[in-house]
Structure 1
Amino acid sequence: MGRSMIALFILTFVTIFAAFCTGVTGCWRRSPGNITATAILMLLACLLSAGAMGLWHGVEYYEKEKVVGEEYYQQWSSVLQDNTEVLYDWSFVLSWLGVFFCLGASFLFFFGSCCLSNEKEREQLNNVQYIMPVYPQKQQYAYAGYAVPPPQAYAGPYYTTGSAYGPYNY
């Protein structure tokens, strides 16, 4: 279990590095898909680190209760029992804070992805009036095996002196 805990922490670091790469790319390109991938990777990192911390607690429990047993500590002298205390220091607290911050980052990336996709959707709806319909283009027709150029849609620009469309529209 101890080796599995270390392996899970290594996988967590690799996952966080991958999330960093997709997050930077997603923010640079403003891509909701990349931000969603970052959120999923951060959630995976949260689960991996929580599993590693669960294994740490399992190793601690197994060592104290199953291998050594409570009676082992009762065999110690009273001076040793009085001067012995078990403390969880800053690394333990920092590890659990890292698990919760990974979970929080995952939620924030999910919310950011939703906001980006809503922004892109709103932008597309605002620009819908500028989208020109695409009509099928005229194609060349085959006549007796020879390609015939298509007829002109407009015979050409007709410029007159009073025309509003010509080069002399003053």
Structure 2
Amino acid sequence: MDHKQDFHRQLAGLTAEIAGRPLDAALDGWLNATHAPGSAGYEALKAGCLAGIAEGWLCEREGGGIRYGRVFKAEDALHGFSVDVVDMQDIAGPHHTHPQGEIDLILPLDDGAATFDGRPAGWCVYPPGSAHRPTVAQGRALVLYLLPEGQIQFTKA
């Protein structure tokens, strides 16, 4: 079984649903209603992430106490989104801006209490031009993030 290819197909289906939509509060609400924790889509993406880590093709790099990696570059099959996954535990990552926005899928591990930027399991959408220092608190979480055209700019803030 090729888990990476299955994972790509799942993400292509998801990005088809969100392609062309503004990255805003409405998309955040729609994702959390349509692909909420416990839903088939959420659980399939979580299983894909866990399989990728177990097989070594996901979160294959480490820096500053964070495991990370770009799984797929932005491409037409993913409707212009790149896909990255980080594995963080009680840590703040490097500050960065999102020129075209960012869509995050928060996947708490262990007891499920971990938060990402104060948000529990589920989705978090940052609009174009937003910035943050990504922070996981209260445990360990995987965060899958979709970047339009793969755009991210790390800053010194």
> TM-score w.r.t. structure 2 length?
0.30
The structure that is strand-richer by fraction is 2
The structure that is helix-richer by fraction is 1
Give the number of the structure whose alpha-carbon radius of gyration is greater: 1
